[in-house]
Amino acid sequence: RATDPTPAVFFFSAVIGITVIGMSEIKRSFNDEMGYLKREDTTSYSIRPGFVQGMNVPGKFYVNDQLERLMLDELRSFSRQSHNAGGFLPAVKQIGNVAALPGIVKHSIGLPDIHSGYGFAIGNVAAFDMGLPEAVVSPGGVGFDINCGVRLVRTNLLF
C-alpha cells in the first residue's frame, strides 16, 4: 500500500444494510420529494443531493415498469405519514442515506433488485475512497441477517 499512490476504493453491494445514520428526516409531500428525482430514461432515475440531508453525491436507481411503481408507491406512502412510524425507510430514501456516508465516490446506486433494507437498501451499491481519513468501511453494506455477511480480517500484508 505504501508504494501505491492511488487511493483504494472499496465497493459494497448491499444485501442487507447498515444502521441508519443520524440524519434528521425532513418530511415533505410526495410532489416535493419527486422534485428531487429525475427520470433519465426509460430505465433509470437520478436523485439530486438534498433529497436526504447531507448527501455528498447524487443517487441513481434502475427500474422496469413494475419496480418503478413499487419504488414510487413506497415513497408516496412514506410521504403521507406524519412521522416515520418505524419499519424501513423507502429504498429511494436509503439510497440517499448511503449518498451521505463519508468518503462515498460518485454515486449511490440502486440496482434493478432494489428494495428496503436495514439502512443500506438491498441492491444498493456504493464505492468509498479509502484514501480519505473520514471514509467508512461498512460491512453492513454486504449484509448480516441470514449469513449474507462478510468477515473482516486485519493483516499487516501490503499489496
Q: What pLDDT was estimated at residue 84?
A: 61
Instruction: Tell me the C-alpha to C-alpha distance, in Å, between residue 80 and each of 49, 83, 140.
Output: 22, 9, 29
- Neighbouring CB atoms inside 10 A of 53's CB total 14
Give 125-141 pLDDT, tens digit per residue.
Answer: 899 998 999 998 776 66
Residue whose entry in the numeric block shows the C-alpha cell 423507502: 90
- Measured CA to CA, the distance from residue 135 to residue 128 in angstroms comes to 6
Q: Which amino acid would we find at residue 54?
A: G
3-state secondary structure 95-145: HHHHHCCCCEEEEEEEEEEEECCCCCCEEEEEEEECCCCCCCCCHHHCCCC
pLDDT for res 149 = 58
pLDDT at 83: 67
Could you tell me which of 110, 101, 131, 124 has the C-alpha nearest to residue 62?
A: 110
pLDDT at 142: 64
Which residue ranges of the chain lie beneath pLDDT 70? 1-26, 82-87, 139-152, 159
Write down the pLDDT at residue 139: 65
pLDDT score recorded for residue 23: 44
CA distance 106 to 5: 20
Q: What is the CA radius of gyration of the chain?
A: 16
Residue 23, judged by CB atoms within 10 A of its CB (0-12, 13-18, 19+), counts as middle
Q: What's the CA gap between 30 and 56, in Å, rounded? A: 23
Each residue's pLDDT tens digit, 46-58 = 999 999 999 999 9
Check residue 143 and give its pLDDT: 61
pTM of the model: 0.76
Q: Is there a contact between 92 and 61 (Cβ–Cβ < 8 Å)?
A: yes
